[in-house]
Chain A
C-alpha cells in the first residue's frame, strides 16, 4: 500500500479517528455486529474479535462528566474512574451507548468497586485479574479468559472456536507488529516526528474497527516517515523524553503538549497508550492458545501487579532503544498503585543515570501553569 496523502493530513486523520468511530460504531451496530466496550489494556481483545464483535475503548478521558460522577463517587478518586462512571451515568458516550456489554477487570480498587455501580446501568462482565504474575495467577487468568469466552458465547448465542481465536491472535499480532514498527522510527536522533503525532496514530488506531486493515495503513505511514527522514525531515535536536505511568489520552494529552511546547520531544510511551499495549506478542503457534493469550496479557507490567518487574524490564529496554534523556511519569490524582510505585521507578531511572520527574495531575486544566513550570524546569535541567 502506498500512502498518497501528506503526513500532517494522515496524523490529523488519526487524531480524528475517535470521533469518526462514533459513526462507525453505529453502522456496525445497524448491521447487527455485537459491540464489546472495554476500558483496560488487560482485556484480551482476541476473544471478542473471534466471534466477529467490535471492541471499543469507552470514554474515560474528559472531565466533562466528572461533576455528575462526584454525586455518587468520592471526589478524591482517580479521574479516569470518575470520568468513566460519569459517561455511563449521563449516557454521553456513544461507544457506551452502543455497547452490548462492558467488560471490566479487577485491576485497581477504585475501578472494581465502581464497576459494581456501573452494572446497574449496563451489563458489566467483570474478569478477575490476579495480583501476581505467578503460575497460580496464570491458571486463574486463563480460566477467566475461558469464562469470558463462554459468557460471550451464551450472551450472543454463538460458538467461538479455537481456530477463530487463533486467527484473531494473528490479526492482533500483526497490528502490534505494525505499531511497533511505527514507534521504532523514534529511535532516530533527531526524532522524525513529534511525540504528539505518534500518540495520535497509536491512540487513533485503537478506534479502527477493521483491525485487518490497520497494518497495511500503519506500515505505509512508517515507510513514508522513514523516506521523509532520509530526505532530511525531522523535528530537530531536542531533549528526548519517555512518558510512563498512568493511562493518558484526551485531557491528559496536556502533559505531552507541555513537554513538546517547552522544547522536548516525546520519543517513547511506556504506558497503556504505547508499549504496554503493543510490545509483546501472543504465541500464535502455542498448542494451548488460551494459555498463550493469558500469558501475554498477564505479563503486562501494570502497577496493579505485585511485584511488578516487567515494567522495569520494558522501561529499561525503551530507555536504551530510544536514547532517552529523561523520564516523565504521569500520575493521575489518587492513583495509589502508580503513585506508590513512583519511588521505585525514580530509583530505577536514576540508577540508569537519567533524571526522572513525576507529575500528579487530573483532567482539569487548572494545573496547567504548575505543570508547565515543572516540566519546563525539568527540560532546562537536561
Chain B
C-alpha cells in the first residue's frame, strides 16, 4: 500500500508518499489548483504510484484540497498539521505553522488537535508578507533571512501589508542598507506570529512548520519573543502533507475494519 498526502497551499504544493514507496516533493501551486493536482497525479504515475489504484489511499489538504478530485479524503490543514506535528514532535506539542496566506497555532494534546487559532483576513504575519517584501528588495526568501541575520532592525510599524510595503519603499528611498530593512521585515512578521501564539498556552515543545520552518534565524526571533524555544524543522514545510498521509492510512484502516471514520 501507498499512503499519499497532498497539501495544496496558496504558494506551494507539497506531496508525501509513505508505504511501499517513499517520496517527498514540492512544486509551485501556480494559478490553478486543479491543474497542479493533475501535475501531481502525473508525476506520481511516473514513479509508479497510481492514485486511482486500489493499493493507494490519498488525502488532500490545504486551501486547494477541494481541487484534488482524485483524493479519497479531504481534511483541513489544521488537522493535518496537527497530525504532522505529532509525527515530528510527539503527542504533546504546539505547532506554529506560518503558511503562504495564513498562520495557525495548533495545540496537540494526547496526539489530537485540542485547540487552534488562525489569523484573520490579513496577510501581515504570513509568508505572503515576507514574499512581497523580498520581491520589493529584489531577493529570494532565503536571501532575506540571510541578510536579516546581519542587520539591525529598522522598525516597520504598519499593521497592513500594503502600507508596510510603502514603509520599506521609504527606507529604500532613504538609502538604508538592505540588511537592516530585511531585519525589520522579519521582525515584523515574527512579532505578529508571536502575538497570535501568545493567545494560547504553549506546550513544552513548540515546533515551527510551513515554508519558513527551516529558517534558524526566524525560529530564533520567534523563540526570543515568546520566551520559549521554538524548534525549526528541516522538513516542516511537509508537515501538512505528512499529516495527510498518516490520516489517509488511519482512515483507510478504520473503514476497512468497519468502524466509522
Contacts and interface: CB of A to CB of B under 8 A. Distances in A.
B158 interface: no
A307 to B, nearest CB: 23
B113 A380 contact: yes
6 contacts: A374-B118, A376-B76, A377-B113, A380-B76, A381-B112, A381-B115
B75 interface: yes
A381 B110 CA distance: 12
Interface of A: 237, 355, 360, 366-367, 369-370, 373-374, 376-377, 380-381
B78 A370 contact: no
A334 to B, nearest CB: 12
A355 B120 CA distance: 20
Nearest to B120: A360
A242 B211 CA distance: 36
A58 B241 CA distance: 48
Contacts of B75: 380
A370 B121 CA distance: 8
B116 interface: yes
Interface in B74-130: 75-79, 102, 112-116, 118, 120-121
B171 interface: no
Nearest to B107: A381
A159 to B, nearest CB: 53
A367 B260 CA distance: 31
A367 B121 contact: yes
Given A373-B63, A380-B79, A381-B79, A355 B115 contact: yes
Q: Is the interface of B mostly helix, strand, loop or mixed?
A: mixed
Nearest to A367: B121
Contacts of A376: 76
Contacts of B120: 360, 370
Nearest to B78: A377
A162 B120 CA distance: 52
A380 B114 CA distance: 10
A377 B63 contact: no
Which of B75, B76, B116, B121 has most A Cβ within 10 Å?
Answer: B76
Contact of B114 (A355, A366, A373): A355
Contacts of A373: 63, 76-78, 118
A367 B101 CA distance: 13
Given A355-B115, A373-B78, A377-B78, 6 more contacts: A366-B121, A367-B121, A370-B118, A370-B120, A376-B76, A377-B77
Contacts of A366: 121
A376 B118 CA distance: 13
Contact of B113 (A237, A367, A381): A381
Which of A237, A355, A367, A380 has most B Cβ within 10 Å?
Answer: A380
Contacts of B76: 373, 376-377, 380
Nearest to B118: A374
A108 B118 CA distance: 28
Contacts of A355: 114-115
Q: How large is the interface on B (under 10, 10 to 19, 20 to 34, 35 or more residues)?
A: 10 to 19
Nearest to A373: B76
B72 to A, nearest CB: 16
What 3 A-B pairs have minimum CB-CB distances, sorted nearest first? A377-B78, A377-B76, A380-B79
A380 B115 contact: no
Nearest to B119: A370
Nearest to A355: B115
Nearest to B106: A377
A213 B226 CA distance: 61
B116 A377 contact: yes
Contacts of A374: 78, 118
Given A369-B63, A373-B76, A373-B78, A381 B114 contact: yes
Nearest to B62: A373
Nearest to B260: A237
Contacts of B114: 355, 381
Interface string B174-200: 000000000000000000000000000
B74 to A, nearest CB: 9
Contacts of B115: 355, 381
Nearest to A343: B199
Contacts of A360: 120
Nearest to B113: A381
Given A355-B114, A369-B63, A377 B121 contact: no
Contacts of B116: 377, 381
Contacts of B121: 366-367, 370
A241 B61 CA distance: 24
Contacts of B78: 373-374, 377, 380-381
Nearest to A369: B63
B56 to A, nearest CB: 22
A355 B115 CA distance: 7
A374 B79 CA distance: 10
A370 B102 CA distance: 9
A369 B66 CA distance: 11
A381 B78 CA distance: 9
